[in-house]
Amino acid sequence: MKWKILIIGCAILIFLGSLFAQEEIFPVAQRGYFSSGLGFQMWRIKGVYHSKNQLAFPLTVLLPFGEHFNLAIQHTPAFSWWFGEYRMNGISDTWVRGNLVFLGEKAMLNLGLGIPTGKTRLNIAQFDLARDLGRNIFRFRSPVYGQGPCARGGLAFAFQLTEKVVLGFGGQYLYRMGYHPIEFEYGSEIGIPEKTWSKEYVPGDEVSGQVGFDFRIDENTKIMLDGIYTYYWKDFLDNEVVYRAGDKFTFNFALFHRSYQHYLWSHVTFRQRAKNEVIRELSFQEQDKNSNGYQIEIDMIYKIMEIMRSELFILGEGRYYGQNGRRVEEVTGTSKMEYGDEMVVGLGVGTNYRLSENSLLDFQMKYLMGNFKYETNNWILGLDTFLGLKIEF
């Protein structure tokens, strides 16, 4: 039965982050499709006149080859800007992934290739903007434009323990190659010949293992639980070790309940990372205090109405990151670590309209607010909208 493999697809769908609001939880794709859209996100921070903005155009193509293999291609061009020279436009890296289901639909092999089509060699202003785009609290659709070539391979299995319980487990390895994240000219302002700073950065590889359970309470209710452990290798800059991210533990809980024309989907994620290892006092050491606070994220979709060819949804989300550390530059030119909480809550609406048997129009809009807690409370306000089109073939 195809639902046995759903727990395997759970991790992949969470990673892709590309579920349409109108789709019920973790559907198994039977047909190929093309999806695209336009997303606008805006964040305004109290005391800062200009907002941080992004227009993104996510593109996905799913090509099925028979009943057991499909190929997915994903790409997200984006226009991001703050003010003045703090702007960055361009295409992102391109991911090509293949999924092969075998052993009577109880196992899946996932292979992926990250093609370095995205923007790298950023200037100083672009690099500063990119650091904010990559902050988890904002959830920009294109948080990173380019990270160099990489490859991913994973294997997962699912077994039916009872009529209503499925066990799934698997692992994944991510191989990364080097790239040049930043490039700038220096020297002329202090009277020496102008030089170019551009060093190769090689992010550490990653390996993760996952185990999860799928509990079918009844015909209309399902609970999903899984835990993931991720280990990171060391990062290198110009062939020298500069950083190693702390090991990460992730726990997911999801609930899906359907009642007549309504359904509720809720998903809770808890993450905790160990201490990072950094260059300190001319040696590579573990941090004295963990700069990685725990993270809790909640997402909810409630289908409240179905009229003719359209559906209406209530969307909700919350994010709480406890005691995360951030390095702050001081006026003297030195830097220090500041620790504080980050919190965001959001509420919105979503709707879709079936243009034809094979095409669907999807719209979402959410209003968000929250705060940073460092030396002072800095309130943030956000707007997240998306208009998408999905065409099956």
Confidence band of 334 (pLDDT split at 50, 70, 90): low
Q: What is the pLDDT of residue 30?
A: 64
Task: Average the pLDDT over 125-153 and give the result.
Answer: 93
27 lies in some domain? no
Which is more confident, 292 or 33?
33
pLDDT tens, position by position, 75-91: 999 999 999 999 999 99
Specify the number of domains making up the chain. 1
Which is more confident, 334 or 381?
381
Confidence band of 45 (pLDDT split at 50, 70, 90): confident
SS3 letters for 2-60? HHHHHHHHHHHHHHHCCCCCCCCCCCCCCCCEEEEEEEEEEEEECCCCCCEEEEECCEE
Task: Average the pLDDT over 316-327 and give the result.
Answer: 82
28 lies in some domain? no
105 lies in some domain? yes
DSSP state for residue 131 in the 8-state scheme: H
Q: What is the pLDDT of residue 376?
A: 60
Domain that holds residue 103: 2-14+34-392
Q: What is the pLDDT of residue 180?
A: 96
DSSP 52-92: EEEEE--EEEEEE-SSSEEEEEEE--EEEE-STT-EEEE--
Q: What is the pLDDT of residue 97?
A: 97
Which is more confident, 386 or 275?
386
Q: What is the pLDDT of residue 194?
A: 77
Task: Average the pLDDT over 90-117 and give the result.
Answer: 95
Q: Give the span between the Cα atoms of 308 and 333, in whole angstroms.
A: 63
Task: Average the pLDDT over 362-366 and give the result.
Answer: 97
The overall pTM is greater than 0.85: yes
25 lies in some domain? no
Q: To 10 degrees, the CA torsion angle through 239, 243, 244, 246?
A: -170
Confidence band of 336 (pLDDT split at 50, 70, 90): low
Q: What is the pLDDT of residue 338?
A: 67
CA dihedral for 27, 32, 37, 41, sign (positive or negative): positive
Confidence band of 42 (pLDDT split at 50, 70, 90): very high
Task: Average the pLDDT over 185-202 and give the result.
Answer: 79
CA dihedral for 29, 30, 32, 35, sign (positive or negative): negative
198 lies in some domain? yes
pLDDT tens, position by position, 260-272: 889 999 999 999 9
CATH classification of the domain holding 39? 2.40.160
pLDDT tens, position by position, 370-380: 987 655 667 89
Residues sharing a CB contact under 8 Å with residue 103, sequence separation 6 or more, in sequence order: 157
pLDDT tens, position by position, 211-233: 999 999 998 999 999 999 999 99
Task: Average the pLDDT over 246-272 and give the result.
Answer: 95
21 lies in some domain? no
